[in-house]
Amino acid sequence: MENAHPSNSNLLLGQTMSFTDDPFHAGPESSVTHHRRGAVLLRDGMIADIGPADTLRAAYPGAPVTDYGAGLISAGLIDAHAHYPQTAMIASWGKRLIDWLNSYTFPEEMRFADPEVATETAARYLDLTRANGTTTIASFCTIHPTSVEALFAAAQMRGQRLVAGKTCMDRNAPVDLRDTAQSAYDDSKALLERWHGVGRLSYAITPRFSPTSSPAQLSALGSLWAEHPDCLMQTHLSEQTDEIAWVHELFPEARDYLDTYEMHGLLGPGGLYGHAIHLTPRERDRLREVDAGLIHCPTPNTFIGSGLFDMAGLMAEGQRIGLATDTGGGSSFSMLRTMAAAYEIGQLRGAALHPAQLLWLATVGSSRALRMDDRIGNLAPGMEADLVVLDLASTPAIAQRSARAGDIWEAIFPTIMMGDDRAVQAVWMNGTLAASG
Ligand SMILES: [Zn+2]
């Protein structure tokens, strides 16, 4: 049928790829629909139709056409764990987790008491991630409410979907970066009431991690989550063995690291647990039982020397897993580089991830972890129109390799392994062209 709102419609042509199933369980070949010459119709900020180009051109003759040629049209990439205040200190040398926090992170996060620093960094961070094809982010902020205001305001201006929250810390951090149990509750509640559910913005209750929150603060945030169960809760879990030993010292009564959250009301289905590398059998069982989200952050696995996430084992037992950069403990803003690192971590654990699995993790997998898979993460009618168009021949090195590809996966894999922001041909956000390379 001819569309009724031609000015709000756009027909994008290119190779299209959408997921019909989970490639970890259904197998890569039977979980994807790929059109070599496909089309996606965007209307009023949503994906209205998808199919072969000829069919859609005939069905919607009035829609303006943008032809991306052999470019691959995918759902926009979703970064399920990041720290936007660490934008300017990414790639800081030579430390492991606790020293890295004290030497680099905390001094940088102190700067966000200044609203100008927060506003400028938020805009720069969203520019950098958008240039890399990322359309949704779940980010930690700093303890300063202004750092949250700045990021939400910047995302709202761009029509961008965003999850964010005030990072809460009331111990084991510099005095200027500490709140209290009560102020963490009050500030988080005020921010939540102001921003959660406004347009495409969602609030996440955000204790940094157990070592920097007192039991009283964890309990206060657990109460807030119980009062607002539709919010996500994001934190860190079992990244480094030194960190885990410290958690045992700080919480002698806890059965394990996860229990420090569980005993304070901070374990639930909307919980996002970043890293989750060194898990005990009990932790794995509990995470699966409550259907919590595990967020794989592969670049800091190696960059901060933390260890190797057990993707194959965790997937096989049915965990809900998303993918993330963890900027700036992660070493890249790019979800392509992050997929490459996930592949490398998989190889070091003896399990080579298929390109379909890597792309699924960065789209559907992350949207499932964020409990937003009914809205984002896939090309399908009724989904929000967040898309990335990838040039699969963006550099001479990639082009000469993909020219030899025997199938679509061989054509995509060099871009996953060697691609960067030059591979991002265009980004559509909320049905509007947001960037073109
Ligand atoms: Zn993190």
Q: How far, in Å, is the centroid of ligand 1 from the Cα of 10?
A: 37
Please give the Cα distance from 104 to 42 (Å, whole number): 43
Q: Does this model's pTM top 0.95?
A: yes
Q: How far, in Å, is the centroid of ligand 1 from the Cα of 83?
A: 6
Question: What b/e string do you get for 407-437 counting C-beta neighbours within 10 Å, with b at 16 or more?
Answer: ebbebbbbbbbbbbbebbbbbbbbbeebbee
Angle between helix 145-158 and 115-131 (nearest 10): 40
Please give the Cα distance from 221 to 237 (Å, whole number): 16
Q: How far, in Å, is the centroid of ligand 1 from the Cα of 299?
A: 11
Residue 202: exposed, middle, or buried by beta-carbon count in 10 A (0-12, 13-18, 19+)? buried
Please give the Cα distance from 216 to 213 (Å, whole number): 8
Please, are residues 306 and 300 in contact by the beta-carbon 8 Å criterion?
A: yes
CA distances from 75 to 50, 79, 390 (A): 12, 13, 10
Using omega within 30 degrees of 0 as the cis cutoff, is the peptide bond preceding 274 cis?
no
CA distances from 256 to 112, 132, 250, 276, 286 (A): 33, 37, 11, 12, 11
For the chain, 437 residues long, give each residue's pLDDT as a single digit of tens: 444 444 589 999 999 999 999 999 999 989 999 999 999 999 999 999 999 999 999 999 999 999 999 999 999 999 999 999 999 999 998 888 889 999 999 999 999 999 999 999 999 999 999 999 999 999 999 999 999 999 999 999 999 999 999 999 999 999 999 999 999 999 999 999 999 999 999 999 999 999 999 999 999 999 999 999 999 999 999 999 999 999 999 999 999 999 999 999 999 999 999 999 999 999 999 999 999 999 999 999 999 999 999 999 999 999 999 999 999 999 999 999 999 999 999 999 999 999 999 999 999 999 999 999 999 999 999 999 999 999 999 999 999 999 999 999 999 999 999 999 999 999 999 999 998 87
Q: How far, in Å, is the centroid of ligand 1 from the Cα of 51?
A: 38
Q: How far, in Å, is the centroid of ligand 1 from the Cα of 13?
A: 37
Q: How far, in Å, is the centroid of ligand 1 from the Cα of 352?
A: 25
Q: How far, in Å, is the centroid of ligand 1 from the Cα of 326?
A: 5
Please, are residues 351 and 319 in contact by the beta-carbon 8 Å criterion?
A: no
Please give the Cα distance from 332 to 245 (Å, whole number): 28
Q: For 340, phi and psi rounded to 5 degrees?
A: -60, -45
Amino acid at residue number 11: L
Q: How far, in Å, is the centroid of ligand 1 from the Cα of 409?
A: 31
Q: How far, in Å, is the centroid of ligand 1 from the Cα of 421?
A: 22
Q: How far, in Å, is the centroid of ligand 1 from the Cα of 281?
A: 23
Q: How far, in Å, is the centroid of ligand 1 from the Cα of 273?
A: 9
Which residues have a Cβ under 8 Å from the Cβ of 222 and sit 6 or more positions away? 264, 265, 266
DSSP for 380-408, please give it.
Answer: -TTSB--EEEE-TT-SHHHHHHHTT-SSH
